[in-house]
Structure 1
Amino acid sequence: MKRSAGKYGWRQIAAALTAVWLLGSCASSVYADDKIAREPELSIIVRSSSSSMLFSRLEIDSPSLLRELRAARAETAGRTPFFPDIEVEWRPDSRSRVYRLDHTGHLLSPETNHRLPLPNSAAARMLAYARILRNRHYGKLVPWSEARRLVARKSIFTLTDLESGLSFRVQRRAGSSHADVQPLSKEDSATMKRIYGGRWSWQRRAVLVGTASHRLAASMNGMPHGGDGIPDNGFNGHFCVHFLDSTSHRSETPDWGHQLRVHQAAGSLSRYFSSSPPLTLALSFVEALNSKDTDMLALLREQAPQASFQALDSFLNELESIAVRGKREARPDAPSSQEDERLSAEIELPVRIRRIEGRSVDAKLRFSFEKSSIGSSWRLIGVSSNVPGISF
């Protein structure tokens, strides 16, 4: 599902930012001085994952920026950090080229491992365009204390799955620590079931909550349970929608799996990981394994040594499910004073692994972390297991 953000020249940046803010959750397109009907030579695309069917495109009409691109000379990139959700399409001739945008505004080629360095002014413009589109694509990260007023009880709103792009209508029926909602009709229930591959599931998914004036970042599960209040909607019960810092019914701490998807829906997952302590990163790795989210796994091991995780693909091919055993009532994203002063850390998690052929095994996963200096971000450098045959 494509959501176009129109064409912009550099002079329209300020106007475009205003237009994006005014549109809020509206899905219509924005156009500024659109005088060119031909296929755009330069576009920026935002999608939350490599397989996401929901994406937003910004067509850039800037002769000066195109001149800078044509004048750029490729150089070896090395391991340069880039925005995993941003693609840049450039058509200098009949062939389309796809690049990534690094954190300084330069273009990276994943095919050749080369970089196109741009002048500082041009790089700043690329970052500004990307910022416009990301703000347009994702939901706003708001705490449950605010979200519960924006989606009040008995209110009707739309949920859009960030991966499939499918949308359906729901009504909030109850919920004090998160929103308990129900599909409005049989058609809405059928769409929700399509999102989950034709069967109900407890799997958490990143969603956008759309109201008349807001687009919020949230996470949902897909399993009917509990009370029912809308007859003949094809859904026996309700399901849960979580927001930032919301909790489940029987816990005073946020569900870390839902919190991951909330940040994913806000486009803030990378920032969330960069400020997280080792325990959060370890739990996130297990959650990404269980959902086979290869994009999240790539983000978590982005700074790991190149020799690490060579057996990860084969492990995923054999995996049916994986879950942490036991309950944790402490917030996993609360760093300890000891972690603030250390430059390395080890986390051990007891897990239950179920293989596709049906066999289950209990194991302990040991996660190794390090950081370059006090105050810098933790990075995952390796994962090992105490069970032979389980390797990454």
Structure 2
Amino acid sequence: MRRLLAAFLLVTLLFSVCCAKQPAQAKGKEPITVSVSVSPTSPFHSTLNVRAQHSFVKRLFAAKKVPAFVNPHWVRATLTVKKRQFVYDHDGNLFESNKPLQYLLPTDVHQRIEELVAQVERVHYAKATPWEQVKHTFGRMEYATVIDLETGERFHVQRRAGSRHADVQPLTRTDTQTMKKIYQGKWRWKRRAILVEVNGVYFAASMHGMPHGAGAIAGNDFPGHFCIHFFGSSTHKRKEPDPSHSLMIEKASGSLATTITGATAEELVGYFLTALHEQDNHVLQMTTDGFPLPARLSDVASVRKTEIVIPSDERGPLLSEVHVHLTYFTHDNHERNEEWTFLLRRSTPWDKWRIIAVDL
């Protein structure tokens, strides 16, 4: 259903781009393909094909070029123009995929690319609608479709309970099998960015993959229920939103890069540790400048408790240290209590922070 609706919307977008903003006759125009996904390794894409004026393509190719490398974890969209591959990042920079070149685009060309990418994003992501609104659309006993944004896999659920979030169950044995496939065949508490479709309305959300509590749908082979969180949701034990669910909801709404860009040094370290807890390597790398992560981080199975100490060693406006006391468990279930030091840098006082080193 999501795929059919997305196709319909993309056709509508294509019609509006070609007909409303350009002459109806496409003769002499050049094909452009714009594709968006939630991460560089995600096989699930939304794609828009348009035809642009030859003058637009000419100005794009004629733009001044400077040596530069794209951060592969900061990619917002990919473009194909006359069989040439480009990458558009979250800072609004355009790079040629197969060459270390950045294109310094004229303002009108950059604005057009931004418009096209935003059109695809409106189809690929959904709004982070507050739970207080969502629960009236996704009421108890209502049905919904869950779409995993990394894989594109989808399955059907029914909301059975939950006041601070939605307690749901897969409808059938096939739906349970699909959900378990998303979690690589093993039930886990790890959060995932998802879209939830209810009667044609899409919401950005987050789910975990662990059956627990009671279940009431016969024959679905799901021993209990699982939880779906929306913007402003909380767990049964806490009134504040769960950081991991909040992170995944931002991914599902397409706003994570904007949030990371505006984060303080301490907040950025918090995002790093949340991503580490969820074993989300893409988000981990989004918080850094691309340096190789310490190999010992791969031993971390879950982060249980963190306490960030306000930086006491701010080396001017461009460098900062953040010290963190944390408790975590390894994959062989050993508990560790350690202090880590994060070194962060930004290019200018108004630029975004980036983690450049982690001392374990």
CA RMSD of aligned residues (A): 3.6
Post-superposition shift, 1:101?
1.5
Aligned match for 1:89, one of 80, 85, 94: 80
Map Cα deviations across residues 232-261 of structure 1 (whole Å, 9 max, x no partner).
111111000011121110012111011100
User: In the alignment, is the contact (CA less than 8 A) between 1:6 and 1:57 conserved in 2?
Assistant: no
Per the alignment, residue 342 of structure 2 pairs with 367
Q: Deviations over 1:182-229 (max 9, x none)?
A: 111111111111111112111100000112231110000011101212
Q: Which residue of 2 aligns with 1:388?
A: none
Residue 13 (structure 2) pairs with residue 56 (structure 1): no
The reply to whether residue 192 of structure 1 matches residue 171 of structure 2 is no
Contact 2:169 2:222 (C-alpha < 8 Å) held by counterparts: yes
The one-letter code matched in structure 1 to 2:206 is S
In structure 2, what is the Cα distance between the partners aligned to 1:79 and 1:53?
20
Preserved contact between residue 7 and residue 58 of structure 1 (Cα < 8 Å)? no
Find the residue that maps to 1:168 and give its secondary structure. strand
Q: Which residue of 2 aligns with 1:321?
A: 300
SS at match of 2:292: coil
Q: Verify: 1:44 aligned to 2:55, yes or no.
A: no
Structure 2 portions without partners, runs of 5+: none
How many residues are aligned here? 348
Partner of 1:24: none
Name the counterpart of 1:72: 63
- Equivalent residue for 2:96? 109
Matched residue SS, 2:305: coil
Aligned to 2:229: 242
Q: Would the alpha carbon gap of residues 77 and 372 (structure 1) be closer, same or farther in structure 2, given more than 3 Å must change?
A: closer
Shift of 1:168: 0.5
Query: Which residues in structure 2 correspond to 1:263-342 (within 5 Å)?
Result: 263-301=250-288, 304=289, 309-312=291-294, 314-315=295-296, 319-326=298-305
- The unaligned stretches of length 5 or more in structure 1 are 17-31, 386-392
| Contact 1:100/1:109 (8 A) holds in 2 | yes
Q: Secondary structure at the match of 1:61?
A: strand
Instruction: Letter of the 2:44 partner, please give it.
Output: L
In 1, the alpha carbon distance for the partners of 2:88 and 2:13 equals 18
| Whole-Å separation in 2 of the counterparts to 1:219 and 1:72 | 41
2:125 equivalent in structure 1: 138
Give the Cα separation in 2 of the matches to 1:360 and 1:104: 39
- Identity percentage of aligned residues: 30
**Contact 2:144-2:158 at 8 Å conserved across structures:** yes
The residue number in structure 2 matching 1:100 is 87
Tell me: CA distance 1:375–1:106, structure 2 relative to 1, closer, same or farther (3 Å).
closer
Counterpart residue number, 2:153? 166
Whole-angstrom distance in 1 between the partners of 2:336 and 2:207: 29
1:232 counterpart = 2:219: yes
Task: Compute the TM-score of the two structures, normalised by the length of structure 1.
Answer: 0.77
Matched with 1:254 is 241
Change (3 A) 1:14 1:157: farther
Structure 1: distance between partners of 2:119 and 2:325: 40
